[in-house]
């Protein structure tokens, strides 16, 4: 059974204080690992897809990396507008992606 | 281009009534998913449609829940005899062949 565990559950940062969110997974045959951002009252917004260990993707202050067991979402010099819940999901043997519970990020000015 | 749309955005209903929630996926996306998200909880998978194949209904919590997808496009999620525990945000997502999902804004259902 595919499993996704995200940590920490919640993270508070000061503006400019870089950090990383973790997504650990177990899967039989990874088809893709996905990161989403969800703002309160809205649906998740797709950020990145990673397909194989060693792959990296970047978008503005966000960089996602992938190993065979986990993915990190690195946030460099975050701003208050980066505050959101970040969701990780994997697509493995099933066509239905498995989602983690998310990390709630708050960036204080 | 147009994203995934859902209607209504909010729905308040009395316990025991039936409700229908609608999802318009991105044009050309063959896969469509319904999820439920309760306050502070993760995404709970409900049902998956892929092209003309039989839907995967393995996530539906009870037989009060059903969904259909007409013409490979618009989908309707129906909840019969609503209960208070059905209160949640119902999210629809569509996808092409890459498993990347594009979500709608959701329908917030409140059962009183």
Convert the pLDDT of each residue in B24-42 to its tens digit. Answer: 999 999 999 999 999 878 8
Q: Is residue B99 part of a domain?
A: yes
How far apart, in Å, are the Cα atoms of B28 and each of A67, A96, B25, B91, B96? 32, 19, 8, 19, 7
pLDDT surpasses 80 at B80 = yes
Out of B50, B99, B103, closest to residue A44 by CB: B103
- Residue B43 touches partner A, C-beta closer than 8 Å: yes
For residue A90, what is the nearest residue in chain B, using CA coordinates? Answer: B99
Q: Using CB atoms within 10 A of its CB, is residue A83 exposed (0-12), middle (13-18) or buried (19+)?
A: middle
Is position B111 within any domain? no
Of A31, A45, A101, the CB nearest to B99: A31
Q: What distance lies between CA A18 and its chain's CA centroid? A: 15
Instruction: Indicate the pLDDT class of residue B72, thresholds 50, 70 and 90.
Output: confident
pLDDT over 90 (residue B70): no
**Which of A5, A96, A98 to substitute to test the interface with B, most B CBs within 10 Å?**
A96
Count the domains in chain B: 1
Pairing of strands B107-111, B65-69: unpaired
Residue B98 lies in a domain: yes
Fold held by A3-101: Immunoglobulin-like (2.60.40)
- Whether B98 has its CB under 8 Å from any CB of chain A: the answer is yes
Opening angle at CA B102, ends A38 and A64, nearest 5: 60
Rounded distance, CA B88 to CA B25, Å?
A: 20
Residue B52 — pLDDT band, cuts 50, 70, 90? confident
Q: Please state whether beta strands A32-38 and A84-91 pair in parallel, antiparallel, or not at all (unpaired).
A: antiparallel
Is B112 part of a structural domain of the chain?
Answer: no
* Residue B110 belongs to a domain: no
For residues B100 and A46, is the Cβ–Cβ distance under 8 A? yes
Burial B82-101 (b: 16+ CB within 10 A, else e): beeebbbbbbbbbbeeebbb
Percent of chain B with pLDDT over 70: 99
Q: What is the pLDDT of residues A21-57, one digit of tens each?
A: 999 999 988 999 999 999 999 999 999 999 999 999 9
Pick the residue of B99, B106, B108, B109 with the most A CBs within 10 A to test the interface with A by mutation. B99
Q: Choose among A42, A46, A96: nearest Cβ to B48.
A: A96
């Amino acid at each position: 059974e595919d499993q996704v565990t995200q940590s920490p559950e919640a993270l508070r940062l000061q503006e400019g204080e870089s950090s990383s969110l973790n997504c650990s997974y177990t899967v039989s045959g990874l088809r893709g690992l996905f990161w989403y951002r969800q703002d309160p009252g809205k649906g998740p917004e797709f950020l990145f897809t990673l397909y194989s260990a060693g792959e990296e993707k970047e978008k503005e202050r966000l960089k996602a990396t992938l190993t065979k067991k986990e993915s990190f979402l690195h946030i460099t010099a975050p701003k208050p507008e980066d505050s959101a819940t970040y969701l990780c999901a994997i697509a493995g043997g099933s066509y239905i992606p498995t989602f983690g519970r998310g990390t709630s990020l708050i960036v204080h000015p | 281009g147009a994203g995934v749309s859902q209607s209504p955005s909010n729905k308040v209903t009395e316990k025991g009534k039936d409700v229908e929630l609608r999802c318009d996926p991105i044009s050309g996306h063959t896969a469509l998913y319904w999820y439920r998200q309760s306050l502070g909880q993760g995404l709970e998978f409900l049902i998956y449609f892929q092209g003309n194949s039989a839907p995967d209904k393995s996530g539906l919590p009870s037989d009060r829940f059903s969904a259909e997808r007409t013409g490979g496009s618009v989908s309707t999620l129906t909840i019969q005899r609503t209960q208070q525990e059905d209160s949640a945000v119902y999210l629809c997502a569509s996808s092409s062949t890459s498993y990347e999902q594009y979500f709608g804004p959701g329908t917030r259902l409140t059962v009183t």
